Structure 1
Amino acid sequence: MTGKTACLIISPVTSPDPTKGGDFKFIPAHLVISVSESGSTFGVRTSTDKDTFHNNLNGMGVKLDNLDFVPLDVKGGQHVVGSSQGPKILEALPKARNARLRLRFWPYDTLYDTLPINTSGYAGAAERAKQCAESLSRPAAN
């Protein structure tokens, strides 16, 4: 533990798209942005404690609207993956209408494309999270 507190922006849940074929298994995941006084961090988290991401991150990523595919290449435990290009994703999110994820879950080797996540409310959520982080950084009144 870092001893620091952050505010979170959590997207609506998504799951693999059942129309894309393969062995469909409903595994919910969502975008998570941690906002603190020192900045923001982008990640993707499984929505249950029993479902985990595969150790092989090759091919996993996020796609915002029609922008380039950005790899998810950082593992933060069994339930969280992120991107070394997180700042690029965070910069593009306010203008994006939706995000799609390409994920691999343990123990399957198959990559699954998710249903789109509507990101239209991100700008407002980011502003509220920034206010939350600022309030946490203020000294408590006696």
Structure 2
Amino acid sequence: MELKPLLITRICNASVWPLLVGVVVIALRDDLPLAVVIVGALVCVGAAVYLALLGWRLGVVFDDDGIEVHGLLRSRRIARDEIVSITNFPAVRWKTAEGKARWTPIFAFANPGRVIPLVERHNEAAISILQDWQTDKQPEPARKKRRRERPTR
């Protein structure tokens, strides 16, 4: 299953980087030679396009085998049996095969300002779905076996 932020959130995540580059280039254009500004602008535009694509791609893909968190700078695949919990931060707490504790933030559903109630409700619902998926993997407590009664004749 795949969980993505709302469309408005994805647009904001993708558009912030080109806007930031525009501000940086405009701020630096007066202090540097034109050639340096052009090369710097091209590098910044390339980085902005890359970060915009990653911002658009933010989300979580999970199945019976594990979870893949698409973040701002990279994606991480975590096996289901390594996951300790899904926190409300939101983040995935997990342990490596060697037993080392790790955590991976889920930026797609972070609520830094809690400004837009619709986005906040969507993010809380997505985190709840992930927490339910994670708790479903927990083994059920062992049940006592009942003795089968023999039928009476």
Whether TM-score is above 0.5 comes out as no
User: TM-score, with normalisation over the residues of structure 2?
Assistant: 0.32
Q: Which has the larger radius of gyration?
A: 2
More helix by share: 2
Task: Flag the structure with more relative contact order, 1 or 2, with Cα contacts below 8 A and sequence separation at least 6.
Answer: 1
User: TM-score, with normalisation over the residues of structure 1?
Assistant: 0.34
More strand by share: 1
